[in-house]
Structure 1
Amino acid sequence: MNINFEALVQSLGDGAVISDAKGIITYWNPSAERIFGFSVHEALGASLDLIIPERLRKRHNEGYDHSMQTGTTQYGDKLLTVPAIHKSGRPLSIAFTVSVIIDPDGKVVGVAAIIRDDTSRFNEQRMLRKRIAELEASSN
């Protein structure tokens, strides 16, 4: 079977975002545009800070720089859920997997992430935890 990977990534329901070793966005598929609200033209060439809440940028950038220096990430095959931000300023909760990209010479050249908007599930779980706490408090 001959698979056109560009067409595949363009048609994914999940966002596909690739950034270079400096955290500059180099790839942004239509689902990333839908999730975050930034067009491909707005995202390409911009820093990942575009979608990272200001309060988390320092920690994110430190971890990102460490991954670029070591070629590893502590998250590997783990599904991460973190806050993000939409173009409108609306907070998001995203779930994603991330992998470090290494060129044929063994040099770390960036990171690829597959991202899903997890905001609805996150809000539902938060409401359920609140309701459970209320029920437990009222039964005591």
Structure 2
Amino acid sequence: MNAALDLAQLLDAVGDALVVCDTAGEIAFWNPAAERMFGYSPEEALGRSLDIIIPERQRQRHWDGYHETMRTGVTRYGTSLLRVPAIHKDGHALSIAFTVALLRSADGASTHVASVIRDETERWKEERDLRKRLAEAEARLKEQSQA
């Protein structure tokens, strides 16, 4: 016996942020994980631009890609992760990774972009620290070999 899938419960329960934006980049859906990750309640996020989570220095590049995706209906990030910086409501930096799905009208026109976003800030910090330690170890080895 199959129980009916409660889609609303699923969208609220997943651990990754789910953010859906319209063609203009205004937020149309914001799940509880997005609230936890970025600090904005649904009431604060819905209807607002994605600029609330995009660092200012990244915005032009983001919007160029976003509008091109909406115009062409093509994205390479449907299966490939895009890793970018983001900002929390309180201003602290985040490192996020996400994929996107284009939602379409009955006639095939792109209407929304749905993003599945994971906070990778801790993993990014760990990798940065490992790279730093590796560089330091390589420098010590080089110094020792020259001595």
**Greater C-alpha radius of gyration:** 2
Decide which of 84, 89, 92 is 1:82's aligned counterpart.
84
Q: TM-score when scaled to structure 2?
A: 0.93
Aligned match of 1:94: 96
Shift of 1:57: 0.2
Percent of residue pairs identical:
53
**Gaps in structure 1 of 5+ consecutive residues:** none
Decide which of 102, 105, 109 is 1:103's aligned counterpart.
105
Deviations 1:79-136 (A, max 9, x none): 1211000001100001111111111121110100011111000000000000000000
Q: TM-score when scaled to structure 1?
A: 0.97
Shift of 1:65: 0.3
**Gaps in structure 2 of 5+ consecutive residues:** 143-147
1:27 equivalent in alignment to 2:33: no
Deviations 1:55-85 (A, max 9, x none): 0000000000000100111222011211000
For residues 109-124 of structure 1, the aligned pairs below 5 Å read 109-124=111-126
What is the aligned-residue RMSD (CA, Å)?
A: 0.7
1:77 alignment partner, SS class? coil
Distance (Å, rounded) in 2 between the aligned partners of 1:7 and 1:99: 20
Size of the aligned set, in residue pairs, is: 140
